[in-house]
Amino acid sequence: MYGLKASPLVSQLRDLTQNNEERFQSRKVKLVEHIEELLNIQHRIASHHLRWFVDPAWPIKRHKELNPLLFSTFHKNLLFIFSALELSRKGLHGVAMNLQRNVFEGLVISKYCNICRDYHILERRADMKPIYLTGQVFDKIVSPDPAPLKEYWGVLCDYAHPTKTSGQGWVDLRDEGVLESLIFSLITLNVLLICNYHLLTRQMIDSRMEYEASIYTPSFTGTPYEMPSLKSRAHEIFREMKKTFKQPTVSLIYTYRREWTLK
């Protein structure tokens, strides 16, 4: 990579990242296909319920102040995850991991605020004020044990800060170490999408909203209400992915999706 006779750095990196993307395209990597499909499914589900999230005049909004903040987090998470996927496909998984910390913190803070009906922490995040995740969120969770959430957050913090595990030193997927790190990044993107699906379908969309959408969507748009089929397909993907997850990954997903009891 270095040397007075080496090609310019930008040329080297562009050639490597383009070759990495072509390899991914030709292999049809299942982890990538799952990420793309789950992004599309969640976007479609959100589209069916958009008016409940953003229209202040809609009469059945269950929490006028919180819904727009929840939707903002969900929407940005889709963009963060898509960006991380595009970087990962090029072999730039080290940069992609930095984006994942934003997604995870948004997921944890949003679920906490929705359960306790206190949207002020989300407001602080939107106003770029400091949030102390351990003291303001993790330590408030009585059950389940939040240890898996804390441990994963610690991993993401290590990637985000200038530590020996942050970033990456090389981008050629023919190197075994690079490929292993990339696979880890893709697995965690799938995990985040599973949690983001929970945020959407269990924290943002309640039973009344789902019922109203099933009636009004066909009437107002002429489009059949697709929520049941979309959820069915999402759970098919979750079951397929779970077969390849190790126990710490399963524990992380389980802890996030369980009902939280707070102090």
Q: Cα-flanking dihedrals φ and ψ of residue 262, to 5°?
A: -110, 160
Distances (CA, A) of 260 to 11, 69, 191, 256: 50, 20, 19, 8
> 111 exposed, middle or buried (CB, 10 Å; 0-12, 13-18, 19+)?
buried
Cβ(93)–Cβ(181) below 8 Å: yes
What is the structure's pLDDT at 218?
A: 85
Three-state SS for 184? helix
Res. 62 pLDDT band, cuts 50 70 90: low
Res. 47 pLDDT band, cuts 50 70 90: very high
| One-letter amino acid for residue 16 of the chain | L
Type and span of the H or E element at 230: helix 227-242
Indicate the average pLDDT of the chain: 88
> 23 exposed, middle or buried (CB, 10 Å; 0-12, 13-18, 19+)?
middle
> What's the whole-model pTM score?
0.91
Three-state SS for 55? coil
Three-state SS for 246? coil
Other residues' Cβ atoms within 10 Å of the Cβ of residue 64:
10
Mean pLDDT throughout 95-109? 93
Cβ(159)–Cβ(101) below 8 Å: yes
Q: Which tens digits make up the pLDDT trace of 6-16? A: 899 899 999 98
